[in-house]
Amino acid sequence: MAASSAALLKSSPVKSDWVKGQPLLLRQPSSVVAVRSHVSPSALTVRAASAYADELVKTAKTVASPGRGILAMDESNATCGKRLASIGLENTEVNRQAYRTLLVSAPGLGQYISGAILFEETLYQSTVDGKKMVDVLVEQNIVPGIKVDKGLVPLAGSNDESWCQGLDGLASRTAAYYQQGARFAKWRTVVSIPNGPSALAVKEAAWGLARYAAISQPEILLDGEHGIDRTYEVAEKVWSEVFFYLAQNNVMFEGILLKPSMVTPGAESKDRATPEQVASYTLKLLRNRVPPAVPGIMFLSGGQSELEATLNLNAMNQGPNPWHVSFSYARALQNTCLKTWGGREENVKAAQETLLTRAKANSLAQLGKYTGEGESEEAKEGMFVKGYTY
C-alpha cells in the first residue's frame, strides 16, 4: 500500500530558522498490498506558541485552494534517469534541467497547480534560461516544496520490511531549504501489505512520520493481489497509529496536508473497482481516521493510469467533504507530457500543452466537474511498477 502526506515547513520544538511557516506534506500508508507510509509535505507541526503558526496555516490553505493540486516532480536523479531513458535520453544534469524547466515554465500552470514538490537538485537549480526554478514557480503562484526523506532501508526484526531514514539532521537541512525558497516538505515511508504488515513496521512508519512532522512533517503501495477490503483494513490501522503519534508529538493538524494513496484493490488483483467504489472506501477511511482540522488531502496516483487517477478523484468530489480533496500526482501528470516532449526542443510547447491538459482535468476533478470526454489512449495506459521506488 502506498500512502503519503505533506507537511508545511513549520516551527518545531527544536529551534530552527527553516521552520518559518513551511507546511509539511505527510505521505501516509494507504493503498494496496504494500503500505507505503509517506510522511510527505502535508503535515505542519507547530507548538501553540510558535511565532510562525499563522504562516504555516496560510501556506497549507494556499496549497489546498479550490481547483488546484500538487505537481510531484521530486523523483531522485536515478528515477528521473529511468524516465529519461524511456524516451532515449541520457541521465545527465543538463537533460534533467531541460525537462524540469519544461514543467515549471508551462504557461498558466498556476491556474491548476498550487504546489510543486522538488528534488534537492531542482531546488538549487536554474532553468535553461538562467532563472531560479523556485522563482519561476513563485511567479506562477505555485508554492515550492521539497522531498526531505533519505530513502528506505531494511527494518531489523521485521518480515522483510523497511523503515525510512532521514530524521538525523533534518532540522538543519530544512532550515537551508527554507532559505532557498521551499515552503513545505514531503516525507515518504512505506508499509507493505503482502509482507504483513507487521506491528513493528506499522509503528515505525507512524512514529517516523510523526517525528518528521514535528520537526518540519506515510504511503501504502499498490503492489499485491489483495482486494479492496484488505487495503481498507490495513490503511485504517496505519492511519489510526499515525494520528495517534502525531498528537503525541504535538503536531498542529491545521498545518498538515495529507498525501495518502487511494483505497483500491492491489494492482495485481483480478477484482477491479469502479471510481464510485474507490471513492466510497477512501472517503469512509478518511472520515473514520482523519480529523476535519486537516486542511487538505492530496492524493498520490500510485501507478494508476492518468485517466483512472482523475476519474477516482472526481468521484470523491461529488459531495461535500470536510477537507480539500485534491491531487499530488507525478506520473499521472507527467507521463504523456514526457512522451510528447521526447527530448526535442521543438516539442516543448506541445509537451507543456499536454501537461496543462492533464492539470486542468484534475482541477475539474477536484471540483467534481470532470467528465472524461476527449481523453487520449495514452491517458488510459496503466503505470504500475511492482516494488516501485523513487
- The pLDDT averaged over each successive group of 10 residues in the chain (390 residues) is 43 30 44 29 33 78 95 93 96 97 98 96 96 97 92 88 87 90 87 84 86 62 76 90 87 87 83 93 96 94 89 97 96 95 97 97 97 73 51
Q: Is residue 390 part of a domain?
A: no
d(CA 182, CA 344): 30
Q: What is the pLDDT of residues 279-323, one digit of tens each?
A: 999 999 999 999 999 999 999 987 788 999 999 999 999 999 999
Whether the Cβ atoms of residue 265 and residue 304 lie closer than 8 Å to each other:
no
Would the CA dihedral through 14, 172, 131, 354 be positive or negative? Answer: negative
Q: Are strands 324-329 and 69-73 parallel, antiparallel or unpaired?
A: parallel
Question: Which residue's C-alpha cell is 536523479?
Answer: 77
pLDDT of 287 reads 96
pLDDT of 152 reads 87
Q: Is residue 247 part of a domain?
A: yes
Q: Is residue 385 part of a domain?
A: no
Concatenated DSSP letters of 28-87? ---SSSEEEE---S------TT-TTHHHHHHHHHHHT-TT-EEEEE---HHHHHHHHHTT
pLDDT of 24 reads 54
Rama region for 303: left / alpha / beta (φ>0; ψ in -120 to 50; rest): left
Q: Is residue 354 part of a domain?
A: yes
d(CA 375, CA 260): 25
- By CB atoms closer than 10 A (0-12, 13-18, 19+), residue 330 is buried
pLDDT of 283 reads 97
Q: What is the pLDDT of residues 40-69, one digit of tens each?
A: 223 333 333 345 677 788 888 999 999 999
Q: Is residue 389 part of a domain?
A: no
Whether the Cβ atoms of residue 142 and residue 114 lie closer than 8 Å to each other:
yes
Taking alpha carbons only, the member of 163, 267, 157, 156 closest to residue 211 is: 163
Taking alpha carbons only, the member of 207, 289, 288, 187 closest to residue 249 is: 207
Q: What is the pTM of this model?
A: 0.83
d(CA 137, CA 101): 10
Q: Is residue 386 part of a domain?
A: no
Q: Is residue 171 part of a domain?
A: yes
Helix (H), strand (E) at residue 309: helix 306-316
In the three-class reduction of DSSP (H, G, I as helix; E, B as strand; rest coil), residue 126 is classed as strand
d(CA 355, CA 307): 13
Q: Are strands 34-37 and 296-299 parallel, antiparallel or unpaired?
A: unpaired
What CATH number did the domain enclosing 51 receive? 3.20.20.70
Q: Is residue 82 part of a domain?
A: yes
pLDDT of 92 reads 97
Q: What domain range is 111 assigned to?
A: 2-371
Number of separate domains in the chain: 1
